[in-house]
Structure 1
Amino acid sequence: MSLPAYPVPEHVAGAAGPAGPDYDADVIILALDRAEETVAAIASARAQAGLAKHVWIADQGSRPENLARLAAAVEGAADATLVRLDRNWGVAGGRNRATALGTGRVVFALDNDAEFGTEDTLARAVRALEAEPDLAAIACRILVFDTGADDLSSWGYPPSLLPRAAESFDTITFVGAGHAIRRADFAAAGGYDDALFFCWEEYDFALRAINRGRRIRYRGDIAVRHKVSGERRFAWSGTRWFHFVRNRLYIAMKYGDSAAALLPRFLAYQVKGARNGVLAQGLRAGPAALSLARAFRPRPEEAALYRLTPAARDYIARNDAGHRGGLPNRVRAEILAALPGTAAR
């Protein structure tokens, strides 16, 4: 597989591009207002030492005054570029387009409300990928910026593994706030699915990478610090629950599950949504997931990526399902993973 040829976005400020095509890593940061936090994320990325890098900031519709603040942060910089995308493509589509701008061997995605834990975090992530050639991605430990405690709202792994947060283990996904992907694997697996917009896009990509015989490794010694409070991370208003439910069902159908087989999961989501006053979001998510699944048409050369091999199923069983128990427990863990502070409970 390969990534699409995206239109060249508008250059706003900073360098026209990297000094050359051969360098270690690109850091990509998506921006949409929240200028103060984004400027701090840019500074943290530019301060990363011990490797050749380029920082890309892809703005997806910030107000003019906020875009001006971002432009000032990279004005005259040789190692950073601010571009403006034609619209808000969400997390999945925005990361695809930001990744396509560079040619670094590794792509590190940093949330615009996060900062690197140390000045050598990026270099250590690159070395971790280079040390294990079968790794497609490194999942970073996500810490609360102010306290250094684990950000429980960003724990995307079985709750039973939380006591091992400082350790390393193979997993089947990674958390978007901070992660590193080998560029060659990103392209080979087809990047993110734009249709997801946001929520579960990392899991969807990871399944394709695993199906290609690659591994995802959580590294508790490679961390980013996240400024979003765990108690404020999940908003029941808006459309977050809609995307959570829609995307999880859509992904399951992409990989061969029937709508009938997903009915128990769908009903469990509705119970949780009803308890939190967003039943309408969950109910809308079902038909929306079916619509996405019916429209999904992989190219013939891509179809095999969506049929999990026995080796991929074994990898998932060992590194995820085995830590969660039976299906009811796995569905419950998925729902709890969407909520603030529940991982510890």
Structure 2
Amino acid sequence: MTRPRVGVAVLTMGDRMPELLALLESVAKQDEPATRVVVVGNGTALMGLPDGVIAVELDENLGVPSGRNVAWQRLREFGDVDVLVDLDDDGLLIDTGVFRRIADLYWEDPHLGIVSFRIADETGTTQRRHVPRLRAKNPMRPGLVTTFLGGGHALSMPMLEQTGGWPDAFFFTHEETDLAWRAIDRDWDVLYEPRLVLQHPKTSPARHTIYHRMTARNRVWLAKRHLPAPLVPVYLGVWVVLTVVRAKSLAGLRASFGGFAEGIRTSGGPRRPIRWWTVWRMSRLGRPPVV
């Protein structure tokens, strides 16, 4: 086995060009350079990218998972990438050793499927929602988890081949959990490594009503696609209660229930339930797939 080769993928809608160029500059400064860097314009033209960056322009915005699948397939065509690193276009790598550490992690553990970065704002603060575990008081505690952060992460190319990549229909929200569950079900590890930092502006996606609808719809799809039948109503019942308890506006609550209804009457993809062994493993990791 040779040292894992890292490729980078970035999605953009073309509305954050200064941030995108700063991110690409931080990618270029890594002390172990990426083999390939791909930028996917999700419904936008791409101009003024640095030399060597591969531009893929899509005619329409296909959403996050479909856009990432396009980037994955483009890198796959070259055949010289072992680990794919996805980065948000308004993020920034503040350490020059990120790719080197990622290569080290995959070199040391052949079962490593996904590595989740720590997301921190300009002050170094990590929001609770950016720690991919239930007990999220300490964002500096590494370890195996059951989901990962979309803003910054690394993916094993063999893992992507086995799982089939991202769930196109989701558009955005919960595509990471969908992929993580499939990876764990195929005996891959998902690791949260807080030493890998992506600096990212402090924002809240819940400020948009569409976020509430998509979140609720995709939770239903997630359960329908992957949970053993007895756990589907349990999972959805828990999240209905949590949605009501956490609601901060009537508009958001209405959007959430609209999303739940949409998820029930529509399909997010074929049903392939995870094994009960996977349910047990996820429970041992601190997050049974009912919450």
Question: TM-score normalised to the size of structure 2?
Answer: 0.88
- Relative distance call for 1:102 and 1:23 in structure 2 (3 A) is farther
Give the alignment's Cα RMSD to 1 decimal.
Answer: 2.3
- Residue 36 of structure 2 is aligned with which of 54, 62, 66? 54
Q: Does the 8 Å contact 2:132/2:145 carry over to 1?
A: no
For 1:200 and 1:285, locate their aligned partners in 2 and report how far apart those are by CA, in whole Å.
13
Q: CA deviation at 1:48?
A: 1.9
What percent of counterpart residues are identical? 23
Query: Unaligned stretches of 5+ in structure 1?
Result: 1-21, 299-305, 331-345
Deviation at 1:72, TM superposition (A): 1.4
Give the match's secondary structure for 1:204.
helix
Partner of 2:19: 37
* 2:219 counterpart residue number: 248
Task: Provide structure 2 residue ranges, at least 5 long, that are not aligned to the other structure.
Answer: none
Contact 1:23 1:52 in 2 (8 A): no
Aligned partner letter, 1:90: G
- For residues 206 and 246 of structure 2, what CA distance do their matches in structure 1 show? 14
Indicate whether 1:238 and 2:220 are aligned.
no
| Residue 83 (structure 1) shift | 1.6
Q: 1:71 aligns with which of 47, 54, 63?
A: 47
* 2:190 equivalent to 1:216: yes
Residue type at the aligned position of 2:132: G
| Shift in CA distance, 154/184, structure 1 to aligned 2, threshold 3 Å | same
1:112-131 aligned within 5 A: 112-131=89-108
2:5 to 11, 16, 24: 24
Check the 8 A contact 1:246/1:285 in 2, yes or no. Answer: yes
Give 1:52 deviation, angstroms. Answer: 4.4
Q: Does 2:144 correspond to 1:170?
A: yes
TM-score (norm 1): 0.75
Q: Which has the larger radius of gyration?
A: 1
Q: Could you tell me how far apart the structure 1 residues matched to 2:282 and 2:115 are?
A: 17
Q: Which residue identity is paired with 1:92?
A: P
Aligned amino acid, residue 91 of structure 1: V
Whichever residue aligns with residue 184 of structure 1, its letter is P
Task: After TM superposition, list the pairs within 5 Å mapping 1:269-288 onto structure 2.
Answer: 269-273=243-247, 275-288=249-262
- Residue in structure 2 matching 1:148, options 103, 120, 124: 124
- The one-letter code matched in structure 2 to 1:85 is L
CA distance in 2, matches of 1:122, 1:71: 26
Identify if the C-alpha distance between structure 1 residues 216 and 260 changes in structure 2 by more than 3 Å, giving closer, same or farther.
closer
Residue aligned with 1:117, SS: coil
Query: Is 1:26–1:102's contact at 8 Å kept on the other side of the alignment?
Result: yes
Deviation at 1:257, TM superposition (A): 4.0
Matching residue of 1:179: 153
Structure 2 CA distance for partners of 1:194 and 1:111, relative to 1, 3 Å: same
